[in-house]
């Protein structure tokens, strides 16, 4: 079986996931009509790679928004997010905080300046424990 997979250019991997994450993923791929979980995971990994490669190519002066969702009961996370933003103080034009529900907060940070720095803050936020989702969008000025 493994040899057959290799001949097809495929490698089997084992991944451990929290069951609620897997349940949600299964629900989405069923809704989108995927024939198998493997196909859904392949597409998700492709999307992740494209997103990362796009972020790596960004450079020069840009306007960026970083949106993120986090668990505000995560110990110390609020302070860590504030500290991260203070390192980019001159670039942050505005930020908004929304208390979504008992557990979750949603924030939007709008930045202007070097794309590499915008990306750096987004990556800092992504690396913090308790941050559930981060989305970075950038655009060039002077449009």
Residues at the contact surface with Ni ion, assessed by CB under 5 A:
99, 105
Residue nearest to Ni ion (CB): 105
- For residue 68, count other CB atoms closer than 10 A to its CB: 20
Residue position matching structure tokens 């392949």: 42
Q: Of the two residues 63 and 109, which places its CB atom closer to Ni ion in the complex?
A: 109
| Least Cβ distance, residue 139 to Ni ion (angstroms) | 27
Q: Are 117 and 91 in contact (CB under 8 A)?
A: yes
Quote the tokens at residue 5.
């997979």
Residue closer to Ni ion, measured from CB, 62 or 80: 80
* Comparison of 92 and 105: residue with beta carbon closer to Ni ion: 105
What does DSSP assign to residue 55?
A: H
CB of 67 vs Ni ion, minimal distance in Å: 14
Show the tokens assigned to 131.
Answer: 């941050």
- Minimum CB–partner distance for residue 87 and Ni ion (Å): 21
């Amino acid at each position: 079986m493994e040899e057959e997979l290799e001949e097809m250019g495929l490698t089997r991997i084992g991944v451990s996931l929290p069951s609620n994450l897997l349940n949600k993923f299964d629900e989405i791929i069923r809704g989108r009509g995927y024939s198998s979980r493997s196909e859904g995971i392949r597409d998700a990994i492709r999307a992740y790679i494209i997103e990362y490669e796009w972020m790596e190519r960004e450079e020069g002066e840009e306007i960026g928004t970083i949106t993120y969702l986090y668990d505000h009961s995560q110990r110390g996370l609020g302070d860590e997010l504030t500290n991260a933003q203070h390192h980019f103080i001159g670039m942050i034009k505005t930020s908004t905080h929304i208390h979504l529900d008992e557990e979750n907060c949603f924030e939007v940070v709008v930045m202007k300046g070097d794309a590499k720095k915008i990306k750096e803050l987004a990556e800092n936020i992504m690396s913090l424990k308790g941050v559930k989702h981060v989305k970075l969008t950038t655009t060039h000025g002077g449009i």
